[in-house]
Each structure stands twice: as structure tokens, then as C-alpha cells.
Amino acid sequence: MKDAQGVKRVGNILESTPGQLIVVVSAMGKTTNALEILVPKLNDLEAEKLIKEIEDYHYSIAKDCITRRWKEQTISTLNKVFAELRETVKEYPADNYDERYDQLVSYGEFLSSRILGSYLSDEGIPNIWFNACSNIWTDNNFREARVDFTKSKKYFDQNVPIAFENANIIITEGFIGQSGSRKKTTLGREGSDYTAAIIAHCTNAESVTIWKDVPGVMNADPKKFEDAVKINQLSYQDAIELAYYGASVIHPKTIKPLQNKNITLFVKSFLSPEEEGTRIDGAITKLPVPCFISKTEQVLLSLSPKDFSFIAEENLSFIFDSFAKHKVKLNMMQHSAINFSVCFDSDPRKLPGLLQSFQGNYRVLYNDNVELFTIRYYDQATIDKVSKDRNILLEQRSRYTVQLVLK
């Protein structure tokens, strides 16, 4: 939902979908990125300028789609929310970056879910707003919070039937939850799909549909490869592998909660809702075509113990420990007798500390800004195609997957 037309589209889709629905919304347009800029403390003038932009953007969408009875009420709700956001930006302590991040960035979903709910009410479509924070419980690992499924399920069991007594459409916020100490938490960027999967798991939903601006899961990024084709049917196993290695249509954490309860996932386009999209379920299907996905902005790091000791248990446990401490997730790794190479997402906030932790015992080499290509069901033609005129820095093959680090 990046504009009024997007909100109206959601309304149309909901109107033509029978049954009891829980609608999980993500922030509007680029709101999450805009809110991220407010996390480091800025001077008052700069902060106000940014908030005003976010405010104007949301008011203009609300005004374009909510034109009748709900207009006044929506504007007064938005006024309150923005007053609270201004207060949070000013007052929330900056000593824990990740904690402050979650308190601020979670406003995006709050705003979008409120606007959608008001729009539907304005159109005479009964719906009820449902507070994700009071039902999805997490630990306080801010920005990447881990969900307590047992506790969350208890809340859903209790609150969802009550909500459905009032309306067949429940609107809730993606991407956010609450820690036991009652602080807002977020589940990782692009985490709204994951929220849908958590809720589906906790409520034993029949299916989940993710609505995107692409026709379904494609075998390659259509923006980069014009011969990309849509995949009609995908197994959970292939879907999780593709999502993990960067197929951005599905958040990688989405698959597990669904697979565990055998809930079907559909990926469809809101631009052509009547089309089939992609179906992901427990059926064993092999993909008809090689799938290739790229992760850009990668770092390739190579470590060799200075004392010439093997890359065996002791070195490996030190290395993995350092990655875990700096919250850096590995996308690919390979080792030989005295060399360990690993590829991960570049994050300038984490890299210096991580490198520092290896400097004492290891010879450290790294390449910045490399690309990690993963090809599932690979063939030589696809490998040649993606690596044409590029330098392959590292390569790894297993039965179904090949990974290439390219410069």
C-alpha cells in the first residue's frame, strides 16, 4: 500500500475473498526506511523535517481514500499517533540503538493498519483492528526478536475468536511484537510475511496469501533477467532454500511455521489478483527450471590461523562465536586445512568489531561489495550465464545447489 490506489486495491481483494480473514499489513511505501533515519539522535529541526514528510505522506493517502463518515475520526487518530511519535523521537533514550530502533520503526505498521481499517469502515466493510504487539510475544533481542510461539498461541486462542465475533476481517500490523518486559520489538526487515506465518500457525489457518507486485515466485529477478519465468508450484523445501539465499518475495522465516502445520502458502500479484500465482506446500515437486538468486553487498572474508593450526573444532568454535556475538549471519562458508572463507551481508555497523575480534589470532583478508549467486537445480549453461565476464572468487556445489561469489 504505497498510495490511495493501493489501499483501495486491498479493499477490492478483501471484498472478493470469502471467509474469515486476518489481514497483516506492512508499512506504506518507503516509510520503514524513513523511520530508520530517525533512530540516531538528530537535531530537533532535522528530526521535525523528517517526521513532517512521513506525516504529510500518510495524511495525503488517508485523505485520498477516506472521504466520508470516517474522515474526521481518522484525522484525529493520526494526529494523536504523530504527537506520540514526536514525543518518542525526542524522549526515547539513544543509549541502546536497537531498542530505540524498534520503538520508532514500529510506527509504520501502526499507521498503515489504522488507515486501512478506517478506509474499510468508510466503505461499509466491517473490520476490527487487532493489536499485534499485545498478541505476538517475543524475547528482547531488538530488531531480530525471537517469537515465543507457546505464549503467543495462548493469546491468539483467547483473542481471535472474540475479534471474529465482531467482524469477518481482522486487520493487524506485520513485523512487530512485544517483549516480556513490554517493549515493542521488530522481527527483522521485511518481516510482515513472517508475522502472517506466525498468526497462521497460532490460529491453524487454512492458508496464507502474500500479495506482491510480481506474478508469483520467479526463477530469477525479472528486473535483471528478462527471460525470468514464474514458478507455479514449489515445495516448502525449495521455497525455504530460495528465500534463505535471497529470493526477496518471501521472508526466509516464513516457511517454517507454515510447514510445521502443513499450511499452504500462496504468492500472488495484487495487480492481477485473479491470476494463479505460486502455490507452496508439502507436495514433493522438482523445479522445472534452474532458479538463480543474487545477494549483493556481500563481504567475503578469509581467515587463516597465524599459528598454522588446523581449522578444526577449536578454531571453528571461536570463529562461530565471534559471528554470533556480532549478530552477523553467514550466507556461505568453506574451509580447508588452514583457511576459513565466509560470505555475509555487509553492515558497516557490525564489520569493524567483527574484524577486530579476529585480528589477534588470524591473518584476515576480505573483499567488500561482492555478489553471492545461488543457483538451485543448476546446470552449466546457467552457471556460465551468471558468471560471464565476472571473476569467481569462491564456488561451492552440492547435489541441488551451486553458490558462486562473484566480483
How many Cβ atoms from other residues are within 10 Å of residue 363's Cβ? 13
Total residues binding ligand ASP (CB under 6 A): 10
**Nearer residue to ligand ASP within complex by CB, 34 or 300:** 34
**Smallest distance, ligand ASP to C-beta of residue 285, A:** 27
Nearest approach, Cβ of residue 256 and ligand ASP (Å): 17
Residue 27 engages ligand ASP in binding (rule: CB under 6 A) = yes
Based on the shown chain and the rule CB under 6 A, indicate whether residue 231 belongs to the binding site for ligand ASP: no
| Cβ(108)–Cβ(27) below 8 Å | yes
29 forms part of the interface with ligand ASP (CB under 6 A):
no
Q: Judged by CB under 6 A, does residue 175 bind ligand ASP?
A: yes
- State the minimum distance, in angstroms, from the CB of residue 25 to ligand ASP: 9
Stretch binding ligand ASP (CB under 6 A), from 26-34, 282-290, 346-354, 362-370: 26-34
Q: Exposed (0-12), middle (13-18) or buried (19+): which is 208, by Cβ within 10 Å?
A: buried
By CB under 6 A, is residue 113 in contact with ligand ASP? no
191 binds ligand ASP (CB under 6 A): yes
Which 291-310 positions form the footprint of ligand ASP (CB under 6 A)? none
341 lies in the binding site for Mg ion (CB under 5 A): no
Q: Is 113 a binder of Mg ion (CB under 5 A)? A: no
Which of 174, 177, 252, 257 is close enough to bind ligand ASP by CB under 6 A? Answer: 174
> Of the ranges 20-28, 222-230, 317-325, 381-389, which one interacts with Mg ion (CB under 5 A)?
20-28
The reply on whether position 101 binds ligand ASP by CB under 6 A is: no
Closest residue to bound ligand ASP by CB: 192
2 binds ligand ASP (CB under 6 A): no
Query: Taking contact as CB under 6 A, which single stretch among the options 116-124, 186-194, 219-227, 309-317 is the one that binds ligand ASP?
Result: 186-194
Which grid coordinates are listed for 248? 526477496
Give least dist CB 250 to ligand ASP, A: 11
- Taking the CB of residue 73, how many other CB atoms lie within 10 A of it? 13
Q: Is 26 in the site for ligand ASP (CB under 6 A)?
A: yes
The x, y and z cell numbers of residue 159, run together, are: 483473542
Closest CA to 230 of 279, 190, 263, 192: 279
Choices 116-124, 183-191, 212-220, 393-401; region in contact with ligand ASP by CB under 6 A: 183-191
Which three cell numbers mark 389?
Answer: 565476464
**Minimum distance, C-beta of residue 130 to ligand ASP, in the bound complex (Å):** 17
Q: Tell me if 32 contacts ligand ASP by CB under 6 A.
A: yes
Question: What's the closest the beta carbon of residue 360 comes to ligand ASP, in angstroms?
Answer: 36
Round to whole Å and give the CA distance between 36 and 47: 11
Residues engaged in binding Mg ion (CB under 5 A): 26
Residues engaged in binding ligand ASP (CB under 6 A): 26-27, 32, 108, 174-175, 189-192
